[in-house]
Amino acid sequence: MLRDLQTSRNSTNLLEMNKQQIPIVVVAYNRPKSLSRLLDSLKKANYPSSDIPLVISIDNGENNQDVLLMAKEFDWIHGEKEVLYNEENLGLRKHILKCGSLALHHGNVIVLEDDLYVSQNFYYYASRALAFSEDKNYIGGISLYKHQRNVNNGMNFTPIEDGFDNWYFQFASSWGQAWSAKQFKDFLTWYENNQQIPEALELPKFVLNWSEKSWLKYYIAYLVATGKFFLYPKISLTTNFSDKGTHAASDSTDYQVNLLVADKKEYSFSSLTVSASVYDVYFENANIYKALGIAAEDLCVDLYNYRKTYNKRFVLTPRILNYELLKTFGRSLKPRDANIIENISGIDYFLYDTQKDGINKFSINRMREILYEKKSITRGDALYLYLELSKEKFRRAIKKITSLFSSK
């Protein structure tokens, strides 16, 4: 696989581009409206010079000549532009890998899918973050996007604020990312030997259920397998429109986030050992063991109540379990892990010793849990959501039944 990608990159005119500046690679397929919006935001952004390479890579499709025409006609005023149209349809996974492999020649690359929108400061941030990561083997890539919800279960998420401009996450980014040549080559070397995700890796079911077209689940598996992290910003430099397309049935605002609007911002990055804002693949704080005085290898953290199994002696969770209860915590501070760090009293989270039987006599306060997530919800909104969700569930059921009969 690595050899194929190297051959592919050598066949383009990108060898003639300026190696001193990081190329921006836009990944497109069949969404002209999305592409136009992203290109407009790129045009308005700030750059350190007038020789910034822009590559618009379009996957082959039956009805995307309008996308190709738009890319060719786009006036890139910040440097050279190249439009690449794949001779055959690669699919999303191979297409992203091909685009990411451009880092192997240029030294670095910024990759943006077409339904994103960038901050004016995105290029400056990416440049600084890549420079910071250069000698840090634990960084597997740079994210331009900041998550505000746990994608595994849809609950609100924000990392601990530790005074730095970054946080670490064992979850690769697909909504605006940058790689150095070494970061991407290290991944490709692992990927070449792991065409199937190793069963021994503990990954969220949500991630494992992604289709084989997903490159992202392989990169996430790579991070977990090697103990590496993506470096994420505290303020997002991209936001995601989630436009309707090949992998989205309808438009959505679920992954729209606050976007940095400053023209320029100076960044102070923390190393992994200094950072108090480090999260595992389940969106759980990887340093919370320090607040509990328990060895990291003995503690399973499940504040989001998403893990299916517990394979360590001590478990921190909101679930009611029949093990010895060592300590309880409240759910008042935000983010939720702050309650453990600050030792907030309450009966919302429970620390168990799974090697000893016991009885937890407390009960879950569902209303408190809902309001912690939503702040407030009116009766009218609650009724409307219930009816709309019920109708959508009914429509899906009818569609499934119809497809079963039509296939006979």
Indicate the helix (H) or strand (E) that contains 40.
helix 32-44
pLDDT exceeds cutoff 90 at 80: yes
Q: How confident is the model over 302-342, as pLDDT tens digits?
A: 999 999 899 999 999 999 999 999 999 999 999 999 999 99
DSSP string for 312-326: SSEEEESS--SEEEE
**Residue type at position 133:** S
Residue with more model confidence, 103 or 383: 103
The domain limits of the chain are 2-279, 289-366, 377-406
Q: How confident is the model over 51-71, as pLDDT tens digits?
A: 999 999 999 999 999 999 999
Residue with more model confidence, 47 or 375: 47
Under CATH, what is the fold of the domain 2-279? Spore Coat Polysaccharide Biosynthesis Protein SpsA; Chain A (3.90.550)
Residue with more model confidence, 342 or 391: 342
pLDDT confidence bin for 17, thresholds 50/70/90: very low
Mean pLDDT score, 106-121: 97
Length of the chain (residues): 408
Q: Residue 125 gets which letter from DSSP? A: H
In terms of Cα–Cα distance, which of 322, 323, 327 is closest to 294? 327
DSSP string for 156-185: B------SSSEEEESS--SSSEEEEHHHHH
| Number of other residues whose CB lies within 10 A of the CB of residue 34 | 23
Q: What is the pLDDT of residue 244?
A: 67
Q: What is the pTM of this model?
A: 0.90
pLDDT confidence bin for 231, thresholds 50/70/90: very high
pLDDT confidence bin for 258, thresholds 50/70/90: very high
What share of the chain in percent tops pLDDT 90? 81
| Number of other residues whose CB lies within 10 A of the CB of residue 281 | 20
Q: What is the pLDDT of residue 408?
A: 56
Q: What is the pLDDT of residue 1?
A: 43
Q: Provide the token pair at 52.
A: 């910034």
Q: What is the pLDDT of residue 6?
A: 35
The b/e string for 162-198 (b: 16+ C-beta within 10 A; e otherwise) is eebbbbbbbbbbbbbbbbbbbbbbbbbebbeeeeebe
Q: What is the pLDDT of residue 400?
A: 79
Q: What is the pLDDT of residue 407?
A: 61
CA atoms of 154 and 146, how far apart (whole Å): 15
DSSP string for 222-245: HHHHHT-EEEEESSBSEEE---SB
